[in-house]
Chains A and B, each alone.
Chain A
Amino acid sequence: MSDAPPPAPAVSGATPLEAPVPPDAATFAAPDACAIRLAGLQFAFPVDGQTVPVLGGIDLEVERRSVIALVGPNGCGKSTLLRVIAGLLPSAGGIVEVEGRPVSGPDARVGLVFQEPRLLPWRSAVANVAFPLEVAGLDRTAREARARDLLGLVGLRDWAGARPGELSGGMRQRLAIARALALEPSVLLLDEPFSALDALTRERFNVELLRLWERIGSTIVLVTHSIPEAVFLADRVIVLSPRPATVAADIVVELPRPRRMADLDAVILSRTAAEIRARLGGATDDAFAVATGEVGRHDEPDAVVA
């Protein structure tokens, strides 16, 4: 099911921001490589000299320019998975590849947006967005110009000089997204980026995120606790089992793009959401179910297509 490629996003306008693949990745990556490939990926946290397995062999292939949503029970390792893909945590076995090349350490091809904005409070908005460019060694005028472009992309052009403390929670998270896009990553990872926002703002931000994605054309992997949000945004929704996490289900969302606010009420959306809820029910963190081995099994043979 998952080998059906998603429709290519509509490319509009012609700003330099629409070339998301860094030159080196474009040169060396195999042209048919998928954006992300995980195979038998494992991770374990050391606790008091013992290791607690968090990721128990994840297999996943993410097509270029697609949007993937990760859902799963609390504490199942979704955030850990994003950190391993971003190179912030070392895997304990298995394969992590971005654009056909293995990830070893923090990676410029991957932009990570954390659950909190994590802005530098003493820097202005434009200087926060310019932070990755400053680290990368761009000169002042180049990074200033690019940071202002990015601010425009997330609708904060008029707030360049504001400190994070002067911005609303939503604006801060938009700023964090702009910063994550600064190095033109081919993959954008979002760890529950809108969880701190109220429901109405959140819906609006989801639509904004899709518009942004249509313009920049990155691959997006999104962790969320909201099933409707997952279905509305994603081409595929990956349901993870409780710890140690494996892929419990891989559900394709047959909702055409471009998607708009009105699609939130589409029948297919609620039907897909119902299907995900059923799978999540199987992937419970109920202690009894874990003890009797009821969880973590793949219900369908074609749930994961390598």
Chain B
Amino acid sequence: MKHARGRILPPMIAFVGFIATWQLIVWIGNYPPFILPGPFVVADRFVTGWLEGIFWSHLLTTISEIAVGFTVGAAAALPTGYVLARSRLADRVMSPYLVAAQAVPILALAPLIALWFGTGLLSRSIIVALVVFFPVAISVMIAIRGIDRRLLEMARSYRVTRRQRITLVEIPAALPGIVGGLRIGITLAVVGAIVAEWTGGEQGLGVLINLARGSLFDIPLLFATLTVIALLGIALYGSVLLVERQVAART
């Protein structure tokens, strides 16, 4: 009991402190709700928003974009990172393009992709996949390169095939680094989806932000939407941690 209280208490205190500071700033500055609504105003709008059914369809749209984009981006990044780590030629040929693509802000790229592929699930998933790809590929590359060469020599002395080397030694040895990349990737996927939704379209939490700020001019709704996005990020991050634990227990 005491142990459980010790684990829950510090984050509770931090949360209460955060809410109190927020409310204090609103009181001291005497800001109107359309500039900075207080936490209780936002909480109220959050609840009424759910009751009115505003969030559901937007949230589902954003989740499906993240699901498709993250899966495709990470799935492409895993083998790419491996090849970059193991082939010096691939590293020399591909790395400049990867870095250049990463240096171009996704905010600048998103309208172009919307121009080519429309404003539907396809173009939004492509943007999410692009955002996820780079950090995952780089962390896979670093993790594979960091594997103890002595373990690989040990495996070679038992005549492992290339496939066995990858599945029995390299992937389990690199797993912590790979999962670290996936954790970064999933949080960036949320950012990518919101940015993609700003380029247009009817549905999505990013669209809802634009609506709340623009035609609806409902700033508490904007803050409530930000809360939904933050909770979504935490939930997705948590599910990556869960998958990580499952995989670690199996190997």
The interface of chain A, by Cβ under 8 A from chain B, is 86, 88, 105-106, 108, 112, 114, 116, 118, 120, 122-123, 131-132, 134-136, 183
Contact = CB atoms under 8 A, between A and B. Distances in A.
Given A88-B153, A118-B151, A135 B172 contact: no
Contacts of A122: 172-173, 175, 248, 251
B108 interface: no
Contact of B158 (A114, A116, A123, A131): A131
Contacts of A131: 155, 158, 168
B154 A106 contact: no
The SS class assigned to the A binding surface is loop
17 contacts: A86-B157, A105-B159, A106-B158, A112-B157, A118-B150, A118-B151, A120-B151, A120-B173, A122-B173, A122-B175, A131-B155, A132-B158, A134-B168, A135-B155, A135-B164, A135-B168, A183-B158
A114 B153 CA distance: 10
| B153, B155, B157 interface centre (most CB from chain A within 10 Å) | B157
B169 interface: yes
Given A118-B150, A122-B251, A88 B172 contact: no
Given A114-B154, A118-B151, A134-B168, 9 more contacts: A88-B157, A106-B156, A114-B153, A116-B150, A120-B169, A120-B172, A122-B175, A131-B158, A135-B159
A70 B150 CA distance: 22
Contacts of A136: 158
Nearest to B161: A135
A207 to B, nearest CB: 26
B47 interface: no
B160 interface: yes
B237 to A, nearest CB: 23
B156 A135 contact: no
Which residue, B156, B158, B173, has most C-beta atoms of chain A within 10 A? Answer: B158
Contacts of B153: 88, 114, 118
Classify the secondary structure of B's interface with A: helix
Interface of B: 150-151, 153-160, 164, 168-169, 172-173, 175, 248, 251
A131 B155 CA distance: 9
Contacts, number: 42
A277 to B, nearest CB: 32
A135 B158 contact: yes
A122 B148 CA distance: 14
Contact of B157 (A106, A120, A123, A134): A106
Given A122-B172, A134-B168, A114 B150 contact: yes
Nearest to B153: A88
3 closest A-B pairs by beta carbon, nearest first, are A118-B154, A132-B158, A106-B159
Nearest to A189: B157
Contacts of B169: 120
A131 B164 CA distance: 11
A112 B172 CA distance: 23
Contacts of B154: 114, 118
Q: Determine which residue in B153, B154, B160, B251 has the highest number of CB atoms from chain A within 10 A of its CB, and name it.
A: B154
A180 to B, nearest CB: 9
A106 B169 CA distance: 17
Contacts of B172: 120, 122
Nearest to B176: A122
A116 B148 CA distance: 12
Contacts of B251: 122-123
A2 to B, nearest CB: 28
A88 B150 contact: no
Contact of B156 (A88, A134, A183): A88
A136 to B, nearest CB: 8
Contacts of B160: 135
A134 B169 CA distance: 12
Nearest to A176: B154
Contacts of A135: 155, 158-160, 164, 168
Contacts of B150: 114, 116, 118
A88 B151 CA distance: 13
Contact of A108 (B155, B156, B159, B248): B159
